[in-house]
Structure 1
């Protein structure tokens, strides 16, 4: 019988043996899933409770941008101030205005504005407006002349749609 005892002893330790340890890859997988859930929950909480307040503050801080109003001006045809008076300038332009009120004021005061622009254009010589820098300077001068006359808004930019010197 002694041999049977050895067999029983061999089987007994197997039954009393501690359960097998879980593989390391399973522990890593559980840790990654837990971190993912915590990260997702944190992101959800931030976007739900904190981000809305930040966005509303940014929206309040930004100034309201209005769409510019473009106003067509009729063609201007003037003699240039060159000696001999043989050259003339033909200009068609559009005004970019900051408000609809400025457009209405231009309609109401068109004669006064056209007179000022005609006087300004007829005071120029060919050498003053023949270069790119001369045309840019003319734009600035026209803008300041018109803006001095306007009371309800301003001209933001001037676009030359036709510019002919002969």
Structure 2
């Protein structure tokens, strides 16, 4: 006879209720572990660049370039060498200099600077200053001519470039 005892029916019911508890505890543990890992990853993403990046960005940043120093010259008008009718060049320029001392020296010797420019520019044919390449070549010649010392005991001037702001050939 197969009569079931109350103990026999209780045992499967207890084992059935214990199994979901174990799997739910395991599931809760896994969810908490994944949450902690995600929180740790998010914290590392947010805070680690601030600590690591502070040192690396200071070394990676290039020093700020110094503010350029320019000396703008009054426009010059020069007769050009031409056959027949008279031609002239009206030119205005700015010199980019190395430091304030060079700028002060150029201002002090301005009559000689203008004289050097007039002599250099008056020997030109009108056709030799029209093309952009010719203007770039002329700017370099002016830079070299003005960089030579203005007085016997002075060093070479630090003129890094010549920029034209007026350039008219007629």
Give 1:85 deviation, angstroms: 6.8
In the other structure, the counterpart of 1:132 is 132
Distance 1:46 1:130, change over 3 A: closer
Q: What's the TM-score once normalised by structure 1's chain length? A: 0.76
- Cα pair 2:71 2:96 within 8 Å, conserved: yes
Distance 1:15 1:67, change over 3 A: same
Distance 1:25 1:102, change over 3 A: farther
For the residues of structure 2 that align with 1:68 and 1:152, how far apart are their CA atoms? Answer: 19
Number of matched pairs: 161
Matched, 1:51 2:53: yes
In the other structure, the counterpart of 2:169 is 165
Three-state SS of the structure 2 residue aligned to 1:149 is coil
Distance 1:26 1:12, change over 3 A: closer
In the other structure, the counterpart of 2:10 is 11
Give 1:63 deviation, angstroms: 4.7
Give 1:165 deviation, angstroms: 1.2
1:44-103 CA deviation, whole Å, 9 max, x = no partner? 34632x4333334335xx455211112210111111123457111111112222322222
Give 1:26 deviation, angstroms: 6.1
Structure 2: where are the runs of 5+ without partners? none
For the residues of structure 2 that align with 1:40 and 1:58, how far apart are their CA atoms? Answer: 26
What is the Cα-based RMSD across aligned positions, in Å? 3.1
For the residues of structure 2 that align with 1:99 and 1:85, how far apart are their CA atoms? Answer: 43
Q: What's the TM-score once normalised by structure 2's chain length? A: 0.75
Structure 1: where are the runs of 5+ without partners? none
